[in-house]
Amino acid sequence: AQSVTQPDIHITVSEGASLELRCNYSYGATPYLFWYVQSPGQGLQLLLKYFSGDTLVQGIKGFEAEFKRSQSSFNLRKPSVHWSDAAEYFCAVDDTGTASKLTFGTGTRLQVTL
Amino acid sequence: ETGVTQSPTHLIKTRGQQVTLRCSSQSGHNTVSWYQQALGQGPQFIFQYYREEENGRGNFPPRFSGLQFPNYSSELNVNALELDDSALYLCASSPSLGSEQYFGPGTRLTVT
């Protein structure tokens, strides 16, 4: 069975600093890959997705992610974090081709200090 | 355009009872998936409906069941509630298979 690992449970960065959130998956082929953000008491908002093609994908709110097949990774990055980015971030994978039967990681909670 | 809505927002039930959660998909979306998110965890896939038919199921027992209606709204039913069913239940719709999903705000279920 496929799995998704987000090794960092909690990350704290200063406002204006760069950010990288790690995500690794275990699956033989290249699945569909996603990053979602969840603010307290809210549902999930899609930040970006990778289906195929260019391995560097741009998303909303200034986020980007890079798919590295050799490392089975899909890390999320942002060059300059804003206080409003504080939230829970989830990496998700779909290997069914439907893009809607997702396996999620356990999440990384981002705290932003001023 | 109206997004995905869920009702109720919060619910408290007693162990052994039954519960029905509702989801209204985004306009034009024919696919809906349900997820369970326990506290401190990522969401877990329960099942998916596509054009009113179940189209895949995660590792959940049969007491978790669902329906999708002709207008593509959906229900999640849970029978014989257990304490471990306490969680945030998320509904997500997509315009078709192979398209990304849009999540609703969730229903917080507490089983006592």
Q: Do B103 and A36 touch (CB under 8 A)?
A: yes
Half-sphere exposure of A38 (CA within 13 A, CB side): 29
Q: Where are the alpha helices (DSSP H) in chain B?
A: none
Q: Is A60 on the interface with B (CB under 8 A)?
A: no
Chain A residues in contact with B104 (beta carbon < 8 A): 43
- So what's the pLDDT on residue B1? 54
Q: Is A91 exposed, middle or buried (0-12, 13-18, 19+ CB in 10 A)?
A: buried
- How confident is the model over B15-36, as a mean pLDDT? 94
- So what's the pLDDT on residue A28? 66
Q: Is B104 on the interface with A (CB under 8 A)?
A: yes
Specify the DSSP class assigned to residue A36.
E
A85: three-class secondary structure by DSSP: helix
Nearest CA in chain B to A5: B42
Q: Do B98 and A42 touch (CB under 8 A)?
A: no
- How confident is the model over A103-111, as a mean pLDDT? 96
Q: What is the pLDDT of residues A7-66, one digit of tens each?
A: 999 999 999 999 999 999 987 677 899 999 999 878 899 999 999 899 999 999 999 999
Q: Do B99 and A100 touch (CB under 8 A)?
A: yes
Q: What is the pLDDT of residues B59-102, one digit of tens each?
A: 999 999 999 998 889 999 999 999 999 999 999 999 988 788 89
Decide: B5 and B27 in contact? Cβ < 8 Å. Answer: no
Question: Which CA distances in Å does B75 have to B8, B46, B52?
Answer: 12, 12, 11
Chain B residues in contact with A98 (beta carbon < 8 A): 31, 48, 55-56, 97-98
B2: three-class secondary structure by DSSP: coil
Q: Do B42 and A101 touch (CB under 8 A)?
A: no
Decide: A104 and A4 in contact? Cβ < 8 Å. Answer: yes
Q: Is A43 on the interface with B (CB under 8 A)?
A: yes
